[in-house]
Structure 1
Amino acid sequence: MQFIRKLAAAVLATVLCSPQLACAQPTVTSFAPTEGLTMGWTQVVFTGTNLGSTSAVRFDGVDATNLIVDGSGTRVTATTPAHARGTVAVELITALGTAAAGSYTYVPQPNITNLGPGEGSMLGGTEVTITGSGFTGATTVLFGSKPATRFTVDSDTQITAVAPPQPAGLTVMFEISTPIAHMPHPMGYFTYTVPPELRPTVTSVAPRWNPPAGGVPVVLTGTNLTGTTAVRFAGQSALSFTVDSATQVTAIPPPAPLQSAGVEVTTGLGTAQGFFLYASAPALASASPTTGPTTGGTPVTLRGSGLLSTTRVSFGGVAASSFNVVDDTRIDVLTPSHAAGNATVQVVAESGTAVLSGAVFAFVSPPADGACGAADGQERITPPTAGLCSAGAAGSVAAASGAFAWTCAGQNGGADSRQCSAPWPLSGVGGLRTSLALPDPATNQGWGLDTAVFDTALPAPLPGGASTQHRALRLVLSGGSAGSSAQFTVHYSEPVPAGAVYLKYGPSPQGLNCNGAACAQPHWYALPGSTAVFASDRRSVTLTLTDGGLGDSDAVPGHITDPGLPVLLAGAGGGTGPVSVPALGPWALTVLALALPLWVGLGRKTNQKR
């Protein structure tokens, strides 16, 4: 066929260009379209004159296909070959010569290679960036069958499009169209989701548990619950439910096995989950062991029932160091650090609270092992230091066998606890010695001993006719709250004479050896028998001093101060009897409080007041 076409063209050229006729030149006056895809296959129509002998149409030297020459010689149709992107020259080859048609532009097919994000709100408005090629001149961007709300062609390789509204759960594909082509098949996917502000939520469940039999109404509180279509407990549909409001649903749990968990609320816009548990109410039956050191760390096994949902274990209100719920009947616990004494064991579970009935855990102070240091000749009663215990913190101070005894405790730890002893200091005439003992501040309303000393001189002469073998004990207590009382005991190496009273110096209440305004001035007065209690063997006296009150000579809250000593008044033991005396001052009580529970040696003979 090609041969016949060329032969016909040659014959026609011979006729037209014979010596008798002028040779007619082929011309192209127009063609369309003037651009097409790089893949070719675009049909182009050329119009002009003397085109009847056209044997080829060439795009940048490459022959087009499907050549059709109209019989009138004014129209030629051809299909473009494939070519790289760009503008090329087009020409028609005829028997009468070559006719230049002009320029033809090859453009690429739009192609999507990536997009993001891949999902967005059902309400629309999500901005999606589409990347690929061939986007120049794009006229349409489709999300499925719906056009984008708006889009911009950022470059030939990128388009930014805003998603239109569409139903939640719908996944759509993209199409991009240009004036000369659109994608032959969709590329890329976008999924519509429910925005957070429309999704249902469950923020609280009350109660958060049911027994395995179910049936206890549960109130579910949250947001966007109006359209609730289902409520499930541990995967099983609720026996019934009512939508009380957009924020509340009330449901009846069905029966379920022990340990089953979870609750779900479903609406047309999603499913919300909350915590829920099928469990029995907790009960504690035993703890083993039932005693351990105050430092904590004792492994304890708790047994009972309904323990599966346990969230907290405590001893005397202090949370356990750790615990492990082995099963519904057993919890393994490590005790916390706790003050010495008995502590109630409590378990808090999702299904309730249980206390170990009729039993407690006893915290005991661990044994201590300390090294003794020099304490001999200590004259002042002060808190023990490293001078008394060469290692570890000194513990209580007590009197035993005519000596001060410090128990060394603390950092050394261990079971070889021992005492360090030193002779009592002289505190009066004839070799008289005295020591001081205070309870631990924790049991003495916080009062501890700051300082204590035997004064060689009295603050004022004793009342007329009074006599004593002791020096005045001056002390300072602190650490207690304002207005509270401190207690301590003074021990003597020899019995205090019968009829002697404990005389204090300072202001006092009315009637204690004073009247009216004179009571506010320092003076000697005897502590009442209820405040200064002598032991039956007369070798000790236990004093109770009140901050800012009886036995306190200063006006500083939280301090108790005052000197005092046993005195035999004129007429005692067959005479006038004891006189009233004011209580120790805050300065004195402060001194005692700091000593903590300790026996402190007090020294030197007391000058007998004249």
Structure 2
Amino acid sequence: MTGTGFTGATTVRFGATPATSFTVNSDTQITATTPLGSGTVQVTVTTPSGTSNQFVTYTYATTSGPTLTSVVPSSGPTAGGTTVTLTGTGFTGATAVHFGATPATSFTVNSDTQITATSPAGTETVQVTVVTAGGTSNEVPFTYTTTPAPALASIAPSSGPAAGGTTVALTGTSLATASSVRFGATPATSFTVVSGTHIVAVAPAGTGTVQVTVTTPGGTSNGISYSYFAAPALSGVSPNEGPTAGGNTVTLSGANLTGATAITFGATPATSFTILSPTVITAVVPAGTAGPVDVTITTPGGTSTLSSSYFYVNAPILISVAPGAGPLSGGNTVTLTGNHLIGTTAVHFATTAAATFTVVSDSQITVVAPAGVAGPVAVTVSTAGGTSNPVSYTYLAAPTVTALSPDQGPTSGGNTVTLTGTNLAQTTTVLFGTTPTGFTVVSDNHIVADAPPGPAGPVGITVITPGGTNAANTYTRVPAPGI
């Protein structure tokens, strides 16, 4: 209040009631605290020189005090720290919230009907009140409990997709009165208290590794780690085909593959798999039926599928080889017949790969035989479906003829000539000059041939087998004697 002659003031009155306190700031100013009162009263100042005039008035406003209807929750641990919601009326301008005689650790006036406050430490049951300029509210009880703080022991699964939605099981102690479950700072999408040792919660969306906590009236638990994983993305399978028997290893490429828990080919799990990096996994293919299948990878971050990205191929089958023999030097063309020959990648004669082959159809291949050593060898065909059964092919040494008996005969032919030599068993043709003749293979060392007619004089004898040709012998036709 302002005026003059305030020095030495002994009393300040609001009506007949002295001010609760006052301070003479100067001869022209006093600061005073109003006492309780109502209506409009005269304000006066008394000094040793007398009392001031009564021309200054002060009006008491008709304000109503706050009303408190509920405190939720109505209990908390003795250590304090419980966040409670106070509801009622007349909270605007609240200057204090008390738990018994102790002020709240902090409070926020949300509206004229709601305050959020943090309980201080305390014991037993105390009365909560709200103080405003209009007065102090009625009392609502809050009970300090000695409930043990919750403790978490495990979480399963301990990871899930960044999008959330994973149902996890929390185990621990003192969980029965859980009021919240948090993943880091984010509340669980939902949770169900199964028992004092078991809670089922649905993870919210998140990233990285966070601490999961449970809050009860006894406090907040220790944190237990939960990791968020980005969804996997498969981009390739190499090689993308293999045998129906499985057992081959393929490389899967993509992103966010770390932590893979399953890989399936169609509906069948991979025999095994190895995570090499976040972008590469090798997997052993299980058995399957011929045709395309989807490849699917599952990680804690979700599932990724590449449609029809792997093909099961039937193993090739060989039925025949023609001709079934050939020279040691190779170079002859052989026809293989069978089934599932499309996609042939190699043809082997024993361990030697043919340099040249042509897949004519799914049932036929022509191949140029490589060189080999004398004797039978196994011919096989390889495809993505595996290696075929073997068919036999024989490498033959070229024939030799060391003797003819007799080595001459009449021009009219008809006589029998015995050829002696080696590698004669597979003989296919005997020529006298250029004329083929009938013959009988007696053994690998002997052939009996029928000499054809022809002009007098020498003629070369040629023996042909799959192993080669011998043309190093001469037979002489002799004319009949004349008189």
Q: TM (normalized to structure 2)?
A: 0.37
Higher strand fraction (1 or 2) = 2
Higher helix fraction (1 or 2) = 1
Give the structure, 1 or 2, with the largest relative contact order (CA under 8 Å, sep 6 or more): 1
